[in-house]
A and B are shown apart, each in its own frame.
Chain A
């Protein structure tokens, strides 16, 4: 199956600093990537849809100026948490979509990034 990597897997930062998380599709090209956030014991919350070469589409309630998304190539999307605060501490997961061919369609997820803001 398709492989998606995320880096870093765990990051601790001070309040007020910015953190960049990378999401890469390793063996396929992904025109669309998604960024999710998961709180403990809760579902995946879609934050934004990242389209290669265009602006990301943010879900309602997600601050686009705080969570900057860049999808500069077909294999890389980045999420930058700007001016991080302790409430931004969470598990961030990206996924890359393999488009529908022959009635198959799925998203492949990265391993996630644990962000802790002190």
Chain B
């Protein structure tokens, strides 16, 4: 059962525009959320996280928004750059558990 879902397998955005990647979750016990970026044949790298006590966290060009009532989070990248082209995974964890649950990933292509 996929508890974290990324319904868009791919996204293409023009350089300089905003990229919005979406993620939905089903488990109300999740209270910590993360975004990872992954290039082919490499391990994922941590990008940004957000705790459920917040609804927004910003780090440079990256902002994560959390809507707890909708069980939805999104990653905004602005402005998008060609180097942002990668697969982005969202992940969720619960304080009571040990495991991170990953979404299926969204492949972002930023067109120069």
A binding-site residues for B, Cβ under 8 Å: 1, 4, 6, 32, 34, 42-44, 46, 49, 91, 93, 95, 97, 100, 103-112, 114
In terms of DSSP, what is the predominant structure of the interface of chain A? Answer: strand
A-B contact pairs, 12 of them (CB 8 A): A4-B43, A32-B98, A106-B46, A107-B46, A107-B91, A109-B36, A109-B45, A110-B43, A111-B42, A111-B43, A112-B43, A114-B41
- CB pair A112 B42 closer than 8 Å: yes
User: Chain B interface residue count: which class?
Assistant: 20 to 34
B 81-112 contacts with A by CB, 8 A:
89, 91, 93, 95, 98-100, 102-105
Residues from chain B with a CB closer than 8 A to the CB of A108 are 46
Assuming A103-B53, A104-B49, A107-B34, what are 20 further A-B pairs, CB within 8 angstroms?
Answer: A1-B46, A32-B98, A34-B99, A34-B100, A43-B103, A43-B104, A49-B98, A93-B44, A97-B98, A97-B100, A100-B32, A100-B95, A105-B49, A105-B93, A106-B46, A109-B36, A110-B43, A112-B41, A112-B42, A112-B43
B41 touching A103, Cβ below 8 Å: no
Tally of A-B Cβ pairs under 8 angstroms = 56
B51 within 8 A of A: yes
Q: Give the residues in chain B near A110, CB-CB below 8 Å.
A: 43
B41 touches A91 (CB 8 A): yes
Residues of chain B touching chain A, judged by Cβ–Cβ distance below 8 Å, are 32, 34, 36, 41-46, 49, 51, 53, 89, 91, 93, 95, 98-100, 102-105
Q: In the complex the two chains form, is A6's CB within 8 Å of B49's CB?
A: no
Assembly CA distance A22 to B43 (angstroms): 14
Contact B41 A43 (CB under 8 A): no
| Nearest 6 pairs of A and B residues by beta carbon | A109-B43, A43-B104, A112-B43, A109-B44, A111-B43, A103-B51
